[in-house]
Structure 1
Amino acid sequence: MKRHHPGQTQAAHVHPFALKVTVAVLAGAGILSSASVWAQDAATIDTNTAVVTVSGVRKAAQSAQTIKRNSDEVVDSIVAEEAGKFPDKNVAEMLGRITGVQVRREFGEANSVVIRGLPGLVTLLNGREMYTSSGRSLYLADIPAAMLYRVDAYKTQGAEMVEGGTAGVIDVRTSRPFDAKGFTSNVVARVENRDKSNSTDPNVSGMVSNRWKTQYGEIGALVGLSYQKGNYHDEVTWNSPPEPRGNGITGPNDLGHVLYQGERERKAANFAFQWRPSQDVELFAEGISTEIDHAAQRQFFVAGLGWNPNSQFTLIPGTNQVASVTSTNAFPFSLSSTQAPLDYSIGSQGAIGARWDVSRQLRLTTELARTVSNFRQEFPIMDFIASPPTVTGNTYVNGGAQFYYPGYDMMSVNNYRVATLFDNHSHSEGRSTDWRADAIWNPAEEGFVKELSTGFRIAKRVASFAHELNGFMPAPGNIPLSSVPQLACTSMPMAGDYGLAQWLTPCAGYMHDNLTAIRRMFNGTGLKTEEDKLSRFNNEEDTYAIYGKAKFGFDVGSIPVDGTAGVRVVHTRASLNGFSLANNVILPVNSQPSSTDVLPNATLKALVAPDVIARLTAGKSMQRANFDQFNPGVSYNVPSTTVMAVGNGGNPDLKPIEGNNFDAGLEWYFAPTGSLTGTLFRHDFKNYILTSSTKETYNGIVYDVNRPRNMSKGTLQGAELAYQQFYDGLPGFLNGLGLQANVTYMKGDLTDVNGDLKPFVGMSKLSYNVVGLYERGGWSGRLAYSWRDKFVETFNYRGLGFDLIVAPIKTLDGSISYKINDNMSVTLDAENLLDRTYHDYHGVPSNPRDIRRYDRVIGLSLRWKI
């Protein structure tokens, strides 16, 4: 398809009075900041423990284990083996190996992330809130691994952390120049081959960093660049929901295929500047920007089964579900369609901040950050209609649907007509300014109180969104495809045998290159569809937060106990602007909700044996609804032969989700890279938000309208177990073997206002990861297997009374590296070795919905460093 878019050292002497006055002035002006990195990492004023030196697979595992052991909160981390070196391409992919974290992979990469089955995450970049366009979370796949220092997945939250997540916090830490001892640089060149898309694509990244001692103090600077290009191919074959066929028998109306192809380009850059004029003062400036071009096409084929009294069918043995059907001379509905999304996204964040150690006991930090993110999409869809007389369909063959058209040529332009254009488009934007300041005080004498800290944060956020109004355009008259053959392309080949192998489908590239002319063919003007007022929102949200936290310690007999107690008070004030429909008149709506949330948190950590830690945490968390969920408007599809009567709306009366969270853990650290840890957890929810479908009538048509609603309450509980060890006692080459393994078990449900139980969407009861490690001499490697149990994808699917359920998913990835010399290494990695499938079904396994297959990826990387 044609693309269109593109450790501390003493510095030189500086007069202390002048320096302190300068810092005070900058802090008062809001230019210095509490680098939340400092606020969260620093247990005391000595920050040496916050610097993680990494070298090799073993050292990376050791560093992650040290972070977990020393943390007040329940946290799991992934640390770079060396600066800029991770075995994954982006943040989302690496998170899938962390205990209790599950990711979903489609469209060529890992994307959505859940912690303990819950999607309510706070995503932070260097301790600061970061998001994508009008959403509340960062699209983690957009952050390339080349820029990372480490990733922390917090299951519990301290009072000093930015609020907003009931599931946990993902904090992505980028490299800074003071992380290294001096000059360092690296360049990574990678090519990856994907089997189903039959493509070989480049990935290039590089980083250079240095620090200097000058007469003005120590200065450090870092610059990083990344370019990733990736083609992908996903293929899907599906069944529509089952419907009664008489005598208790059920079967689908339609079968179909969907072939996804896309090309995604990511360009990213980051910088960091640090200046330490004296040992007591440090200033920094840093920023990151990512730009994504994504051109895709989704080729659909919808095969009606032509049900009539003469249709012949068989049943799946032992069920009343139809296995196969043949309808002769039925002229079933047959549609070929291409969706051609063209996406452009750009997001940037910049921050300046400082630390001032006023004395040996008092540290002040402050930080000012600005985030801007924009997204826009052109999404034309065109349909062709064919009229074959006979169809034969099988509802479950090779894991999916299979259908044929005997005696009918689906590759002839003479057998199609142009039917429909959907002129879809949307755009969204997010902007925010955050300022926070913190103070940390350590008593001069050892006692019960080890540290007191306090701080505040002020954040102003604006989010907006709009999409098209009724992009549906039927073709004027009967347009035979033979009269406009330039619109037709041959569909992509399929890896599996699903009957109809190829067909004619609208050309995505032609649609983008000639979109104005195509619009003119359908509407006579060539004009773009106007925006839907009911889809628009422009929301403002102001947040004011203040916290206080104490760290303490005492002995219970011979057992030392450390703990924290803190509280965060958050006041949120919003102005939510949208539109609603009353008596077919569109009216502006403004609501100004406000809330004050008090979020206490406490932890206890006891050293019950020299290498054994018992841990207890309890706290309250809150999560605001997404901005689009507040939108009072409802957007209705125009129902047709290809579009169901569906509406999507919001709920301006949504309340924040409240969570009371409890964790109890026991952790045994028997070696620098050896540990066995277990955690029991429970989350009690109030006002949990669940989106479901209900029947609503508009203009005499019954629509399935999806709306978010607050549930009355909910409970989720479970256990995590993790193990890590390198087997140093093994003989010979086996001496380099290591193992990481973890398992998570969960159960829970939600209760609505009527007392009915609802499932947690996206929660697998059981999941586990097993990662084999190896490092010896110049060789290192990983082999990672992940498995997650079935989960509910959509509650009350299309209002039909059953849930859409995803079957268990298993994934196997691997990599092997060889260090040629001190400056150069080569890595071979492979993703999706098992040719995984994604399979979901309508309530019960004998009613399948679809089966999805993805690319196998083989990558070869060459890394050069100094």
Structure 2
Amino acid sequence: MKRILPMILSLVMVFAGSLLGTNTMLAQGKASIIGRVIDANGPLPGVTVRLESTTIGAVSDNQGSFRITNVEAGSYKLLVSIIGYNTLEQSISVSASQVVNLGNIELSEATLELNDVMILGSYLPSQMRALSMMKESNAIQNVLASDAIGKLPDRNAAEAVQRIPGVTIERDQGEGRFAIVRGTPIEWNSARINGDRIPSTDILDGSRSTALDVIPSELIEYVTVTKAITPDMEGDVIGGVIDFQTRTAPVDGMFNVSLAGGYNAQVQDGTYNGSIVVGDRFLDNKLGVIATAAIWTRKWASDNYELEYNFQYPGEQGFSINNMQLRDYEGSRQTIGFNLATDYQIDDNNQLFARGLYNRFQDREFVRQHDFYYPDPLNPVAGIFPLSAAGNAELMARNANFLTTLYGGEIGGEHQLSSTMKVDWKGSYYLSDLTTGADSDLPVEAPGLAIAIFRQEVDYDNVSSDGYQYWGFDAPDGVGPMEAPFAAGTSTPLDASQMELQQLLNFGSDSREEDFVGQVNFELEPASEWKIKFGAKYRSKSKQSFFSIGPYLPLGKFIGMPELVQTLDQLEREPYDTKGGMLKELGSPYEDLFIDNITEDQLEALLAFAVSPEGQQVYLDATNTGEDAISKIDGSEQVTAGYGMAEWQATKDLSFVGGLRYEFTQVELNGFYGEEVDEELVLTEIEATNSYHAVQPMVHAKWEATENLNVRAAYTRTFARPNFSDLNPSALVDPGTIPTISQGNPNLKPTFSNNFDLLGSYYFKDVGILSGGVFYKDLKDVIFSNTTQLEMDGQLVNLVQPENSEDAWLFGVEVGFSKRLTFLPGFLSGFGVNTNYTFTQSEVAVPGFDDKQPLINQPEHIFNAILFYEKHGITARIAGNYKGEYVDEYRLAAGPAHYRWYDKNFTVDFNAAYAINNQIRVFVEVNNLTNEPLRYYHGSRERTEQEEYYSIRGQAGIRISL
């Protein structure tokens, strides 16, 4: 099967080429009308172009181009219409077999009021494009155009899509990283570039999630979020498809430059951002070229406190606190992106294109951490070295260096073989890679992540009568704080001379995924009311990742030579720089606990010495454990897909799209079975395969009740492939009183979903929308981690592995409203609102539990609210984004009272700009105006698990557009 489809595609290309040699005269008697719709700002997508008093017409694509086929010879009146513009009427005559090229058709804005906004504003043209694309699409989708992306304070692809209804994001150090549609798990959503799924760069758990912070927002021309797909789209998506369409060559020459500088209040340092877009057409407008480059360099910081609970214990002791961590992060990030695209118009019927991009995201951080481990009467000995039952404190210094790259490209063509048949084809290659250690300054082979841990025995006060540390409301005798923040409670001061070095850790990792893709699509139009489309796609994916840990232990601890044991006071240290106050939002309650920690240079020097020949006399190298091989992922995946679909314009107002998609997936994975034999870890190689079929019927109906009101209904069957880590055949046996086997499950089934959508949308004539709808997903074979007990060779064994659950469902309601308040008098007429709200509920059946559980990462409430002003060259907006609480982690053995929850979050951003003229704009952007924290809690909101603050960041700059 691996070789069959590429051969078929090659034959198809040869066949298409031979057809092209005959030009476009295969269907005599029918004519075609082509052209491109533009305005003063460039191409207009989503424009309806039709022949009056007929059902014959077309909709312009993202480049504003359209083609009307199957036209009988004669005279007609052409109507060109789009939201917010005057309808253009043009008389034309066509002859048999003629291709009538109307060239550029320029539309004018509908009213003088809009004209005032259009010339000096920036959001209105974007909004009109986006709404028109949504209105004319066959699928149920939302669209965000580049104008809106660039004018919101969103600097990467993840942050751009958070403004779309039903979309939320997960952040890392205050910046958007992952996007989630309709509250489904991250890996159930599909992030794509120009229609092709972006390879994953997940570093630890081998999931299919895609980190979007690697893509600068300046490279994006449109973002479409499709919530009900059509058969010509890849079917491995349950939540939604997030498709980032990169910039394409303009109609006319363009030159845009943006320069900005800013400030991050948490780190008290600067940020710098710049971009350039250059494009033009050459060779009598046949050749178009565009190049985009963007760079964003910034310092960042955050501080947090985290609590870990003893939830492995039964009863009330499960709410006792194991440790508290105080963390201060400081680092730097740089995002670089390049995009180059070109197209060549051979003639009116044939076009070739090529696109390429390169993105690089560098993230360096240094963390100073104080950990307080509380008394544990049931487990007085923990870790590598004996501890007192009273507890201990640790100081940790950690540096990390992560480099993510995403690059690739595609070549393709679009060919009108006859007046009723066209073909398009594309070949693409994309690679994602995330590695640690790149560009490190270490004098040894870069580890990527280095840690030094110091420990001191301490005593604690506020200990409950049963010997544990609690929040006061959980303690049997009420001992402990009743409100946040949690009190550290140490009665022994921290002392650098008592802080002994326990271990050095050297982490290394690399995750690499690459895709080769080939596809071809044919489109036939046997009659004006019918359109038939079919095609095939083949993807060859390779996936490799590893994660290794190298510990170095001080020999003095083992051989009774305390003079070899290093203490913190013997090393180079620096004051604890809290950059304006550690957790000042909570009243800076921990300032008196901190002592000076080692410098970053000292940490690197310690590790360099540990790996040197001299260091072998001081440190025990415990790196060669063999366990690293268990976490390694090495595999491939082949996907063969085909589809057929038809579009039927049943009446002027009623249309249907229906069809079937089929995908066949083959997975091959290599792994190891690790078992301890005579205190040695023995590895046995394992190979595993998995294959499955996905048959996906789909049907859409659209009723245009009036010119501005349409109602859509859809049924689609989609699926989500298992994560590579879940399929990984590797297994590790942990010996103990009851041995535990942790392993993947190569026999997992994909999760399938039957999706039902109903949506009504009313489009205001003065640009805006009122929409509302419901959706329901019937889910089967949801994957979860399960622990079971079984008997092997007469011994009871715990088996931990992913499995498919029985069933699940998700229900939701979406409403949206966007309107310019042009009915208000004078100055007030420049105001407008843009709001949307999504409500979702879900249940999943988990074996062993009577009560169904909510899906992971599924908030009940999501909303966006934007108040904007745009008039007389002034553009300003304040945007709020709310995400409700949701379960972040099941702890099935402990029960729902111990689940990890993400707390509700409401962030507010602001931006404003003034257009000095049509070419020059100055702007200011501010993120996180309310300094909203990231917060997780343990079962109930009063039990904090993590609270992290990032403060406010912003920038100001200038944009020049020629």
Normalised-by-shorter TM-score class: 0.7 to 0.9
Contact (CA 8 Å) 2:550, 2:622: kept in 1 or not? no
Runs of at least 5 residues in structure 1 that lack an aligned partner in the other structure: 1-15, 25-39, 310-328, 640-644
State the distance in 2 between where 1:454 and 1:363 align: 11
Is 1:84–1:207's contact at 8 Å kept on the other side of the alignment?
no
* Match for residue 789 of structure 1 among 871, 884, 893: 884
Partner of residue 154 from structure 2, selected from 88, 99, 111: 88
Match of 1:841 in 2: 937
The answer for the alignment partner of 2:528 in structure 1 is 446
CA distance in 2, matches of 1:221, 1:795: 50
CA distance in 2, matches of 1:662, 1:349: 35
Asked if residue 589 in structure 1 is aligned to residue 686 in structure 2, the reply is yes
Per the alignment, residue 739 of structure 1 pairs with 833
* C-alpha displacement of 1:812: 0.7
Match of 1:208 in 2: 278
Aligned partner of 2:858 in structure 1 is 763
State which of 510, 515, 537 in structure 2 corresponds to 1:457.
Answer: 537
Contact 1:533 1:579 in 2 (8 A): yes
Residue 388 of structure 1, CA deviation: 3.6
Helix, strand or coil for the counterpart of 2:230? coil
1:439 deviation in Å? 0.8
Q: Does 1:566 align with 2:659?
A: yes
Matched ranges for 1:139-158 at <5 A: 139-158=211-230
SS at match of 2:827: helix
Counterpart amino acid of 1:843? G
- The answer for the alignment partner of 1:287 in structure 2 is 356
The match for 1:298 among 367, 379, 384 is 367
Q: Does 1:511 align with 2:580?
A: no
1:809-848 pair list within 5 angstroms: 809-848=905-944
Secondary structure of the structure 2 residue equivalent to 1:551? strand
Q: How much does 1:306 deviate?
A: 3.7
Q: Summarize the Cα distance change of 1:703–1:348 in structure 2 as closer, same or farther, 3 Å threshold.
A: farther
Alpha carbons 1:235, 1:258 under 8 Å: kept: yes
Q: Identify which of 553, 569, 573 aligns with 2:649.
A: 553
Larger displacement relative to structure 2 (77-86 or 45-54): 45-54
Partner of 2:234: 162
* Separation in structure 1 between the aligned mates of residue 316 and residue 294 of structure 2, nearest angstrom: 61
Match of 1:499 among 584, 590, 593: 590
Q: Once structures 1 and 2 are overlaid, which stretch shifts more, 744-753 or 685-694?
A: 685-694
2:707 pairs with 1:627? no
Q: State the Cα distance separating 1:620 from its structure 2 match.
A: 0.4
Residues 767 and 132 (structure 1), Cα distance of their counterparts in 2 relative to 1, 3 Å cut: same
Change (3 A) 1:825 1:530: farther
Amino acid at match of 2:176: A
Classify 1:750/1:330 alpha carbon distance in 2 versus 1 (closer, same or farther; 3 Å).
closer
Counterpart position of 1:99: 165
What SS does the aligned partner of 1:231 have? strand
The answer for the alignment partner of 2:247 in structure 1 is 175
Correspondence for 2:289: 221
Partner of 1:608: 705
Contact 2:271 2:955 in 1 (8 A): no
Secondary structure of residue in 2 paired with 1:847: strand
- Residues of 1 paired with 2:637 and 2:201: CA distance? 15
Query: C-alpha distance in 2, partners of 1:45/1:541?
Result: 41
> Given residue 754 of structure 2, which amino acid in structure 1 is its aligned partner?
N
Indicate how the Cα distance of structure 1 residues 583 and 83 shifts in structure 2: closer, same or farther if over 3 A, else same: closer
1:708 Cα deviation from its structure 2 partner: 2.9
Are the structure 2 counterparts of residues 710 and 248 from structure 1 closer, same or farther at C-alpha, using a change threshold of 3 Å? closer
Root-mean-square deviation (Å): 3.4
Q: Which moved more, 1:706-715 or 1:153-162?
A: 706-715
| Residue matched to 1:730 | 824
Q: Which amino acid aligns with 2:283?
A: K
2:583 maps to a residue whose letter is A
1:29 maps to none
Once residues 483 and 248 of structure 1 are traced to their aligned partners in structure 2, the CA distance between those partners, rounded to angstroms, is: 37
Whole-Å Cα distance in 2 between the matches of residues 489 and 797 of structure 1?
43
Task: Give the Å deviation of 1:213.
Answer: 3.4
Distance 1:537 1:162, change over 3 A: same
Change beyond 3 A, Cα 1:210–1:218:
same
CA offsets, 1:560-606, max 9 Å, x none? 21110011111111211111235653211111211111111110000
Q: 1:728 to 1:672 in 2, by over 3 A?
A: closer
CA, structure 1 residues 717+252, in 2 after alignment: closer, same or farther (shift >3 Å)?
same
Mapped to 1, the partners of 2:620 and 2:145 lie a distance apart of 56
Q: Which of 172, 175, 180 lines up with 1:114 in the alignment?
A: 180
Please say if residues 84 and 147 of structure 1, whose CA atoms lie closer than 8 Å, have aligned partners that are also in contact.
no
Q: Could you tell me which amino acid in structure 2 is paired with residue 481 of structure 1?
A: T
Identity %: 19
Shift of 1:840: 1.9
Corresponding residue SS for 2:603 = helix
CA 1:518–1:551 in 2, change beyond 3 Å: closer, same or farther? same
**Does residue 669 in structure 1 map to residue 763 in structure 2?**
yes
Check conservation: 1:401, 1:850, Cα contact below 8 A. no
Contact 2:333 2:364 in 1 (8 A): yes
Partner secondary structure for residue 403 of structure 1 = coil
Cα distance per residue 1:448-467 (max 9 Å; x no partner) = x2x10011001111001111
1:436 CA displacement? 0.2
Partner of 1:73: 139
Q: Contact 1:205/1:226 (CA < 8 Å) preserved in 2?
A: yes
AA aligned to 1:790 is E
Give 1:49 shift.
4.2
Task: Report the AA paired with residue 875 of structure 2.
Answer: S
Q: Say if 1:791 and 1:807, in contact at 8 Å, map to a contact too.
A: yes
Amino acid in structure 1 at the alignment position of 2:504: L
Deviation at 1:253, TM superposition (A): 3.0
**Aligned residue number for residue 467 of structure 1:** 547
**131-140 or 61-70: which moved more?**
131-140
- The 3 A distance-change label for structure 1 pair 202 and 238 is same
Q: Deviations over 1:13-51 (max 9, x none)?
A: xxx999934999xxxxxxxxxxxxxxx999999663433
Contact 1:245 1:251 in 2 (8 A): no
Equivalent residue number for residue 86 of structure 2: none
Question: Residues 86 and 145 of structure 1 are in contact (CA less than 8 Å); yes or no, is this contact kept in structure 2?
Answer: no
Deviations 1:238-261 (A, max 9, x none): 222156899989531322212222
8 Å CA contact 2:122, 2:147 repeated in 1: yes
- Whether the 8 Å CA contact 2:281–2:289 is kept in 1: the answer is yes
1:240 is aligned with what amino acid? E
Determine whether 1:136 maps to 2:208. yes
1:402 aligns with 2:491: no
2:669 is matched with 576
1:432 lines up with 2:515 in the alignment: yes
Other-structure match for 1:12: none
1:238 equivalent in structure 2 = 306
Alpha carbons of structure 1 residues 100 and 89: separation in structure 2 relative to 1, 3 Å: same
Matched position secondary structure for 2:160: helix
> 1:773 corresponds to which residue?
868
Q: CA deviation at 1:331?
A: 5.3
Report the secondary structure of 2:863's partner residue: strand
1:486 to 572, 580, 596: 572
1:236 Cα deviation after fit: 1.5
Cα 1:435–1:749, aligned 2, differ >3 Å: closer, same or farther? same
Displacement of 1:133 in angstroms is 3.5
Give the superposition deviation at 1:800.
Answer: 6.3
Structure 1 residues 407 and 826 mapped into 2: Cα distance closer, same or farther (>3 Å)? Answer: same
Deviation, structure 1 residue 748 = 1.2
Corresponding letter in the other structure for 1:670: F
Q: State how many pairs are aligned.
A: 799
Q: Provide the C-alpha distance between the structure 2 equivalents of 1:723 and 1:353, rounded to a whole number of angstroms.
A: 38
The residue number in structure 2 matching 1:686 is 780
SS at structure 1 position matched to 2:252: coil
Q: Give CA-to-partner distance per residue, 1:420-468, whole Å, 9 cap, x none.
A: 222221112112210000111123x434x2x100110011110011111
> In structure 2, do the counterparts of structure 1 residues 242 and 738 end up closer, same or farther at CA, with 3 Å as the change threshold?
same
